[in-house]
C-alpha cells in the first residue's frame, strides 16, 4: 500500500494519518457551508516556497486583489524556505497543514495516492473554463479523471542560442537534432563548446523516449532498455567523440544559464527562468530562442509545472476553493505571470499578455501543447536518483552507457521493491 510506504519513509504510523483525517471529517460539512467560521469571517492559510523579490510582490498583489473581491476571507501566506515537501508531508500527517499549498507535478502522483488532497471537480463551475488550461499541465494533477490541483504556471525548455557566435560561424539556427550536432561542430572553438548539456533525467526525459522507449513502465525503472539507451547515446557521443558539448562544471559554471551567459557555450536548452537571469546578470549577451530541435521528425520538450491544491482535512473548503479559483483564474493568473518569470497555464492569459508573440518566450509557449511534463508515477524520485547517479559516469566517458543504465535500473527497481 503506497500510503504506508510514504508514511513509513517519514517514520510515522498510518494510524496517525487516519486519526487526523477522521478527526477533521466530522467538521467538513459545517465548514464547507460557512467557510470554517461562525461569524462570517474566515482565515485560510496558503503555503509555498519563496521566490525572488519581484515574485513575492506579484503574489502579494494577487492576494490583495483576492481579499478585495472577497472581504470576508483573510489569507495568511506562509513561506517554507527549506525542505518544502518534507515539511509539508509532516504537517499533513500532524493535522497542521495549510488549507491551500503549492504542489510540484514531480511530487503530485505520490501525494495524490495518499488521499490527503481534496478532489476539486465538485467545486468547478462553467465560468472557470477548465478547457482554457494547457492540457499537459492540467493532466499532471489528475488521476483516473479526477482533478486534485489546478496549475498556476509552468516553464518549458527551448533552445537558447548566441546570435553573435552564430553570425560569426555562418550557422543557421538548427531545427533538427542532426542540425544541432553539425552546428555544434562549427561553433566549438577557442574555449567555447557548441552545446551545453545538463546531464540529468529532468532535462532529458523526452530525449530518452524519442525512439519509442519508456523511461518508466508500470511504475518501475525501464531506462536500461535498448530504445532508451540508443536514444541517449548521441548525447554521450557528442561529448566524448565529437567533443562539441560539455556540462556546466566542465567550463567552471554552476548551471546552463550561467554557462551560456559567460559565453562558454553557443547553445543551451534551458527554461523560461533563464530570460530574467540573463537580463539581470549578462545584459550584453545577444541571444535568441527557438523551439527545441526535433528528434526523428518529432517535436519534444520538457515542462515543469506547479499547482495549487487543497488540504482534504481543511475545515474551510469553500473559502479555500475561492482562493484557488481566483489565483488560477484569468485575473489572478494574469497578475502572477505578468512579468514573465513563469508562464500562464491558461492560453487566454498567455495571449492577453502577448507571450505567444514575444520574441523570447514564444518558443517556450509553443512547446506547452506537446511537452512531456516532469511527472511520471509515484516512484519517479527513486528512478531519477539512480539514473542521475550513473548517467553522469557515462557522460564523462568513464563507462559504457548501456552498462551504466542497466546497473542503475536494477538498483532503482530493488529500492522500489523494498
pLDDT digits (tens, 9 = 90+) for 55-96: 999 999 999 999 999 999 999 999 999 999 999 999 999 999
pLDDT at residue 338 is higher than 90: yes
Q: What is the pLDDT of residue 8?
A: 37
Average pLDDT over residues 207-235: 97
Distance CA 193, CA 259 (A): 10
- pLDDT bracket for residue 312 (50, 70, 90): very high
**What CATH architecture applies to the domain 2-153+308-361?**
3-Layer(aba) Sandwich (3.40)
Fold equal for 2-153+308-361 and 156-302+376-417: yes
Give yes or no for a contact between 318 and 110, defined as CB atoms under 8 angstroms apart: no
CB-based contacts of 64: which residues, under 8 Å, 6+ apart? Answer: none
Q: What is the pLDDT of residue 3?
A: 38
- Select from 370, 387, 414 the least CA-distant residue to 225: 387
Average pLDDT over residues 261-285: 97
pLDDT at residue 4 is higher than 50: no
Taking the CA atoms of residue 157, residue 78, residue 254 and residue 176 in that order, the dihedral angle to the nearest 10 degrees is 0
Q: How many CB atoms lie within 10 A of CB 322?
A: 21
CB-based contacts of 321: which residues, under 8 Å, 6+ apart? Answer: 120, 123, 310
- Select from 192, 340, 362, 363 the least CA-distant residue to 261: 192
Average pLDDT over residues 27-56: 71
- Select from 79, 68, 66, 75 the least CA-distant residue to 42: 75
Give yes or no for a contact between 322 and 69, defined as CB atoms under 8 angstroms apart: no
Give yes or no for a contact between 24 and 315, defined as CB atoms under 8 angstroms apart: yes
Extents of the domains making up the chain: 2-153+308-361, 156-302+376-417
Give yes or no for a contact between 207 and 294, defined as CB atoms under 8 angstroms apart: no
* pTM exceeds cut of 0.85: yes
Directed axis angle between helix 226-237 and helix 201-208, to 10°? 120
pLDDT, tens digit (0-9, with 9 covering 90-100), for 85-117:
999 999 999 999 999 999 999 999 999 999 999
Distance CA 263, CA 255 (A): 13
pLDDT at residue 20 is higher than 50: no
Average pLDDT over residues 271-292: 97
pLDDT at residue 5 is higher than 90: no
Mean pLDDT (the chain) is 91
pLDDT, tens digit (0-9, with 9 covering 90-100), for 174-219:
999 999 999 999 999 989 999 999 999 999 999 999 999 999 999 9
Exposed e or buried b for every residue in 325-340, given b needs 16+ CB within 10 A? bbbbbbebbbbbbeeb
Average pLDDT over residues 233-256: 97
CA 412 to chain centre: 22
Q: What is the pLDDT of residue 51?
A: 87
Distance CA 149, CA 120 (A): 7
Q: What is the pLDDT of residue 39?
A: 58
Q: What is the pLDDT of residue 417?
A: 96
Percent of all residues in the chain with a pLDDT value above 70, rounded to a whole number: 91
Give yes or no for a contact between 263 and 271, defined as CB atoms under 8 angstroms apart: no
pLDDT, tens digit (0-9, with 9 covering 90-100), for 129-156:
999 999 999 999 999 999 999 999 999 9
Average pLDDT over residues 320-326: 98
Exposed e or buried b for every residue in 196-233, given b needs 16+ CB within 10 A? bbbbebebbbbbbbbbebbbbeebbbbbbbebbbbbbe
Give yes or no for a contact between 259 and 279, defined as CB atoms under 8 angstroms apart: no
For 418, the enclosing helix (H) or strand (E) is: none
pLDDT, tens digit (0-9, with 9 covering 90-100), for 357-395:
999 999 999 999 999 999 999 999 999 999 999 999 999
Bridging pattern class, strands 149-162 and 287-290: antiparallel
Directed axis angle between helix 53-69 and helix 317-327, to 10°? 120
Average pLDDT over residues 117-135: 97
Higher pLDDT pick, 387 / 30 = 387
Q: What is the pLDDT of residue 166?
A: 98
Instruction: State the cell numbers at 244.
Output: 562539441
- Select from 168, 175, 173 the least CA-distant residue to 189: 168
178 phi/psi in degrees, rounded to 5:
-60, -40
Give yes or no for a contact between 404 and 236, defined as CB atoms under 8 angstroms apart: no
Distance CA 304, CA 250 (A): 26
pLDDT at residue 275 is higher than 90: yes
Lowest mean pLDDT among 36-45, 96-105, 119-128, 409-418: 36-45
CATH classification of 156-302+376-417 is 3.30.70.260, yes or no?
no
CA distances from 226 to 135, 209, 223, 229, 231 (A): 30, 11, 8, 5, 8
Amino acid at each position: 500500500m503506497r500510503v504506508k510506504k510514504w508514511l513509513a519513509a517519514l517514520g510515522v504510523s498510518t494510524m496517525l494519518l487516519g486519526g487526523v483525517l477522521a478527526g477533521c471529517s466530522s467538521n467538513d460539512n459545517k465548514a464547507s457551508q460557512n467557510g470554517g467560521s461562525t461569524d462570517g469571517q474566515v482565515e485560510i492559510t496558503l503555503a509555498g516556497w519563496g521566490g525572488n523579490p519581484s515574485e513575492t510582490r506579484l503574489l502579494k498583489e494577487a492576494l490583495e486583489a483576492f481579499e478585495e473581491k472577497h472581504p470576508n476571507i483573510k489569507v495568511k501566506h506562509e513561506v517554507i524556505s527549506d525542505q518544502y515537501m518534507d515539511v509539508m508531508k509532516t504537517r499533513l500527517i500532524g493535522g497542521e497543514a495549510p488549507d491551500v499549498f503549492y504542489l510540484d507535478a514531480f511530487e503530485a502522483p505520490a501525494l495524490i495516492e495518499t488521499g490527503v488532497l481534496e478532489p476539486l471537480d465538485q467545486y468547478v463551475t462553467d465560468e472557470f473554463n477548465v478547457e482554457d488550461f494547457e492540457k499537459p499541465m492540467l493532466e499532471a494533477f489528475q488521476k483516473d479523471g479526477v482533478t486534485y490541483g489546478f496549475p498556476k504556471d509552468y516553464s518549458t525548455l527551448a533552445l537558447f542560442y548566441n546570435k553573435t557566435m552564430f553570425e560569426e560561424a555562418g550557422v543557421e539556427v538548427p531545427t533538427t537534432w542532426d542540425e544541432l550536432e553539425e552546428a555544434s561542430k562549427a561553433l566549438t572553438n577557442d574555449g567555447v563548446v557548441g552545446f551545453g548539456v545538463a546531464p540529468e533525467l529532468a532535462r532529458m526525459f523526452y530525449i530518452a523516449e524519442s525512439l519509442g522507449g519508456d523511461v518508466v513502465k508500470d511504475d518501475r525503472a525501464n531506462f536500461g532498455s535498448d530504445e532508451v539507451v540508443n536514444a541517449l547515446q548521441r548525447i554521450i557521443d557528442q561529448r566524448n567523440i565529437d567533443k562539441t558539448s560539455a556540462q556546466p562544471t566542465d567550463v567552471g559554471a554552476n548551471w546552463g544559464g550561467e554557462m551560456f551567459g559567460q559565453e562558454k557555450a553557443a547553445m543551451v536548452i534551458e527554461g523560461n527562468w533563464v530570460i530574467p537571469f540573463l537580463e539581470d546578470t549578462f545584459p550584453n549577451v545577444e541571444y535568441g530562442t527557438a523551439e527545441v530541435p526535433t528528434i526523428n521528425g518529432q517535436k519534444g520538450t520538457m515542462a515543469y509545472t506547479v499547482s495549487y491544491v487543497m488540504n482534504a482535512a481543511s475545515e474551510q473548503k469553500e473559502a479555500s476553493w475561492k482562493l484557488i479559483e481566483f489565483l488560477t483564474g484569468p485575473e489572478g493568473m494574469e497578475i502572477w505571470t505578468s512579468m514573465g518569470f513563469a508562464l500562464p497555464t491558461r492560453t487566454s492569459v498567455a495571449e492577453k499578455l502577448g507571450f505567444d508573440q514575444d520574441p523570447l518566450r514564444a518558443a517556450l509557449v509553443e512547446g506547452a501543447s506537446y511537452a512531456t511534463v516532469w511527472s511520471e508515477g509515484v516512484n519517479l524520485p527513486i528512478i531519477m536518483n539512480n539514473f542521475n547517479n550513473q548517467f553522469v559516469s557515462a557522460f564523462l566517458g568513464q563507462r559504457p552507457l548501456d552498462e551504466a543504465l542497466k546497473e542503475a535500473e536494477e538498483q532503482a527497481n530493488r529500492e522500489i521493491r523494498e
